[in-house]
Amino acid sequence: MNFLFEIFRTFALMNTATIIDYLKTSDTSELFAQAKQSKSEIVGNKVYLRGLIEYSNRCAKDCYYCGIRASNKKVHRYQMDEQAVLEAVEYAYRKGFGSVVLQSGEQQSHEFTQNIEALLKKIMALTNNEIGITLSLGEQNEDTYKRWRDAGAKRYLLRIETSNRALYEKLHPQNKIHNYDTRLKCLETLRKLNFQVGTGVMIGLPFQTLEHLAEDLHFFQDMDVDMVGMGPYIEHADTPLYSIVGVGSTHPQRGGQTPPLQIENRFDLTVKMIALLRIQMPTINIAATTAMHTLVEGGREKAIEIGANVIMPNLTPIKYRENYFLYDGKTVVKDTFDDVVNDLEARLAHVGAEIGYNLQGDSLHFKTKSV
Ligand code: 5AD
């Protein structure tokens, strides 16, 4: 074990140039071998399930890349009723999913805060306090975060999207509600309130360089996060970032810009980022994201094989799902939830992983920090 930690430390101290070399090379054998070894020694081969419930697509934000941005008038807006959420939770609980994630577009209102607070209490009661609840509900004030924490949520996902301020500003409108510093402050508040904190970035964005990605890895380390979800950027036709170099683009910096990477490159880069992160932060939870699955058949399993240990199967009732397209190509699965879980089990077996049923799968990083 000591020997292994030595290897990890060497990697953990990787400088930007070394990271970029790894992101460039086509010979991934050494990188992937180290990442797999790190994973199996430290977090093991269990994959934790978080049932994803896309609570609402109402969103105050106007992020240039996102399909449910406020200005996209083509989207039919919904908010799940409480009963529908509780049914999804009950399914997750009954199936032995250790956790659920409540995700939504960003809404900041007294009513929203209260709705979520009430829901959290009901979820805890329904599951005898046995299910882990993760929230992914955007930027909120400290009081709101605290109320949700007190009501039973113990993890929070808030992606930084990119840790590079200049790039962040190209991906978001320049106004008070899209502010890089606010995003950072929220992450700090969540940490202070003792949430397990998750963040993440998109990979293969227009304007994004390998230096930016190396910075992202350093950012995760500096923020000492407990969980990371990173996925490839995928265009959505009804957003300003779509076809950024094209004539139809409505992005303020349209024309003359570097186009985003080819799809295969985005996928390969995401896999490498996961491998590097697993080596750099061996005790955190890393998600194999839906976007990886959308981009490449078997993409999620590849992520699990080289470093990820969390999967978020979608438990949103089918009728809502077609309105929660953050990017193009997200398939609305027609199989039953049971079929999806059985299929996942078989796919994971192929890469030597197994589902950690009835386990919440807290971040080891968080647990070891707290002792
Ligand atoms: N491509 C990939 N990921 C996206 N997200 C939003 N839009 C896109 C897109 N076009 C991601 C963001 C957000 C998460 C919920 O979905 O990173 O934080």
| Alpha-helical runs (H) found in 156-254 | 165-171, 180-192, 210-223
Whether 171 is in the pocket of ligand 1, judged by its Cβ within 6 Å, is: no
The token pair at 12 is: 């953990």
Whether 159 is in the pocket of ligand 1, judged by its Cβ within 6 Å, is: yes
Confidence of residue 148 (pLDDT cuts 50, 70, 90): very high
The token pair at 181 is: 């510093």
Q: What does the chain come to in residues?
A: 371
Identify the H or E element spanning 133.
strand 132-136
pLDDT in tens, 236-267: 999 999 866 554 555 666 555 556 667 668 99
Give me the residue spans of the domains in the chain: 2-370
The token pair at 318 is: 């089918």
Confidence of residue 113 (pLDDT cuts 50, 70, 90): very high
Whether 366 is in the pocket of ligand 1, judged by its Cβ within 6 Å, is: no
Q: What amino acid occupies position 317?
A: P
Class of domain 2-370: alpha beta
Average pLDDT score over the chain: 92
Whether 183 is in the pocket of ligand 1, judged by its Cβ within 6 Å, is: no
Query: From the CA of 310, how far away is ligand 1's center (Å)?
Result: 18
DSSP string, 9-77: HHHHT--HHHHHHHHH-S--HHHHHHHHHHHHHHT-SEEEEEEEEEEE---S---TT-TT-TT-TTSPP
At 237 the pLDDT is 92
Whether 61 is in the pocket of ligand 1, judged by its Cβ within 6 Å, is: no
The token pair at 79 is: 């908010």
Measure CA 306 to chain center. Answer: 17
List the one residue out of 95, 99, 30, 64 whose CA is nearest residue 252: 64
Question: If you take atom 3 of ligand 1, which residue's CA is the nearest one?
Answer: 233
Backbone angles phi, psi at 173, to 5 degrees: -60, 155
314 forms beta bridges with 52
* DSSP assigned state of 7: H
Rounded Cα distance, 98 and 133, in Å: 9
């996961």: which residue's tokens?
A: 274
Ligand 1 atom nearest 157 alpha carbon: 18
134, 101 in Cβ contact below 8 A? yes
pLDDT in tens, 278-313: 999 999 999 999 899 888 999 999 999 999 999 999
The token pair at 27 is: 């010979």
DSSP string, 107-121: ---HHHHHHHHHHHH
Rounded Cα distance, 203 and 269, in Å: 7
Is the per-residue pLDDT at 201 higher than 50? yes
Confidence of residue 1 (pLDDT cuts 50, 70, 90): very low
pLDDT in tens, 35-69: 999 999 999 999 999 999 999 999 999 999 999 99
Rounded Cα distance, 300 and 283, in Å: 20
43, 282 in Cβ contact below 8 A? yes
CA 344 to each of CA 289, 313, 338: distance values in angstroms, whole numbers, following the listed order: 14, 9, 10
* DSSP assigned state of 228: E
Query: From the CA of 293, how far away is ligand 1's center (Å)?
Result: 13
